[in-house]
Amino acid sequence: MNTTITKLVYFSIVIAAITGYLNSATALTLGFVFTLIFKNPFKVHSHMAIHYFLKISVVGLGFGMFIKETLQTGKEGLSLTFLSIVLTVSLGIILAKFLKIDLKLGHLITSGTSICGGSAIAAIAPVIKANGKTISIALGVVFLLNSIALFVFPAVGHWLGLNQSQFGLWCAIAIHDTSSVVGAALDYGDQALKIATTVKLSRTLWIIPLSIVSMFIFKTKGEKIRIPYFILLFIGAILINSYHILPAFVTTNIVLYSKRLLVLTLFIVGTTISVKDLKSTGSKPIVLAVCLWLFISVFSLTYILNIK
């Protein structure tokens, strides 16, 4: 198809996202449909754009939060975060052996499910010396379920009558990637968004101990552990907002455009989902990923309903 028309359609959707005409689910769907109809003109740059846009938008959301409530939210989600990670990683190791899946592939899928999707896979892969194909399969499977979660979780949350606090905590624990966590919470409400963002980012820090554990499991040494330093910028934004260093109209607009940038990020995420790649993965990695996702979703929801 004509490259000019393809780019025109692409940038039309980008403008619609930035100007606030799209919600999270619609943006992700348009991204996926776009790749089915057109050839992504920016495929080479898409993953890099997702990497930076997501971090910028999450840091921007910090300008709408206050340090006291953030610390309280992080404290409330700590025990559930710890339990869910330990249990999911343990179950993943057992299921990977039972299904006779390559252990490195199983570990990457488990890491992505238990902590933070693509970010965890990208961080753990060099530590266990996974090859390119293994990384691609793990990312494809996790991104598929991550995308489904963006639609399923808000619907289930409303059906169960979850309040914003409950939903924010649930999606932070049970949805794989930060993009879909924040996207799902964004459409649920501001309180859900604040809780989901805070808990998910504190959860991201668990990449560090999991990387160390992974070194021992796979007997690798000397590999550099990737630390998510952008969380420090998120904390800095919260402190700036808490002490009213910037005028309210400035922080309000930063938060507004951060939300819209997140919607744009979800559109780009949608353009990276490949049906061809998913078909080539086989059924066993998907079975593993679905089992782990169902476990962490049901476990965390049960926990939240009993404590909230």
Q: Residues 130-155: what's their mean pLDDT?
A: 86
Q: Taking a C-beta distance cutoff of 8 angstroms, is the pair 171, 184 a contact?
A: yes
Q: Taking a C-beta distance cutoff of 8 angstroms, is the pair 86, 147 a contact?
A: no
The pLDDT-based confidence of 19 (bands split at 50, 70, 90) is: very high
Q: 71-80, 165-174, 234-243, 271-280 — which is least confidently predicted? A: 271-280
The pLDDT-based confidence of 261 (bands split at 50, 70, 90) is: very high
Higher pLDDT pick, 123 / 56: 56
| Predicted TM-score (pTM) of this structure | 0.87
Q: What is the pLDDT of residues 54-72, one digit of tens each?
A: 889 989 999 999 888 878 8
What span, in angstroms and rounded, lies between the C-alpha atoms of 151 and 57? 21
Q: Residues 156-160: what's their mean pLDDT?
A: 95
What does the pLDDT read at residue 138?
A: 86
What does the pLDDT read at residue 47?
A: 84
- 204: amino acid identity, one letter: T
What does the pLDDT read at residue 133?
A: 78
The 10 Å CB-count burial string (b at 16+, else e) for 168-203 is: bbbbbbbbbbbbbbbbbbbbbbebbbbbbbbbbbbb
Q: Taking a C-beta distance cutoff of 8 angstroms, is the pair 54, 258 a contact?
A: no
What does the pLDDT read at residue 1?
A: 56
pLDDT at 121 over 80: yes
What span, in angstroms and rounded, lies between the C-alpha atoms of 10 and 249? 31
Mean pLDDT (the chain, rounded): 88
What span, in angstroms and rounded, lies between the C-alpha atoms of 96 and 110? 9
- High-pLDDT (> 70) share of the chain, %: 98
What span, in angstroms and rounded, lies between the C-alpha atoms of 137 and 108? 9
* Domain ranges across the chain: 3-306
pLDDT at 276 over 80: no
